[in-house]
Amino acid sequence: MNEVLDITKALADGSRLRILMALTAGELCVCQLIELLALAPSTVSKHMSILRQAHLVQARKDGRWMYYRLADRGAPKPVREALAWLERNLTDTPEIARDHTQLQKILRIDREVLCQKQNRN
C-alpha cells in the first residue's frame, strides 16, 4: 500500500506531472527541466526527489549533469500503470502540447550554455 501512496502523492502536483510528460520524450538533463518549468533549481530538485521516491523516474549522473528518465519496464506494476495512465490522459492537453513545443527549443540549446544561463539567474 505504501508504494501506491507514494505514487499518488507524487502525482498530486502539476509540475511533477509536467516533468513526467516531458520525460516521455526521453532522458533529460535537470537543467533542461529547470528551463522548461521556469522553476528554481532547488524546487525542481525537490520534485525530482519525490518522483524518485515513488520510483516513477530513474536518475544517473554524468560529470556535472544529472539526467532523469521515466522508470523502465522493470519498474513495479503500479508504477508502469500510473505512467501509462498519465500518458493516455495528458498527452493531448494544451499545457503538455505547449511544453512539448518548448522542450524542442530547449533541446537545441547546448547544455553548457543552458547551465551557465541558469547559474547567472
User: pLDDT (tens digit, 9 = 90+) per residue, 3-38?
Assistant: 888 899 999 999 999 999 999 999 999 999 999 999
- pTM (2 d.p.): 0.92
Cell 513495479 belongs to residue: 76
Domain assignment present for residue 121? The answer is no
Range of the domain at 106: 2-115
pLDDT at 121: 63
pLDDT at 64: 80
Any alpha helices (H) in 11-69, and if so which ranges?
A: 14-22, 30-37, 41-53
Q: Is the dihedral of CA 65, 70, 73, 74 positive or negative?
A: positive
Q: What percentage of residues in the chain have a pLDDT greater than 70?
A: 98
Do 58 and 69 contact (CB within 8 A), yes or no? yes
Q: What percentage of residues in the chain have a pLDDT greater than 90?
A: 76
Backbone angles phi, psi at 67, to 5 degrees: -110, 145
Output the domain CATH number for residue 73: 1.10.10.10
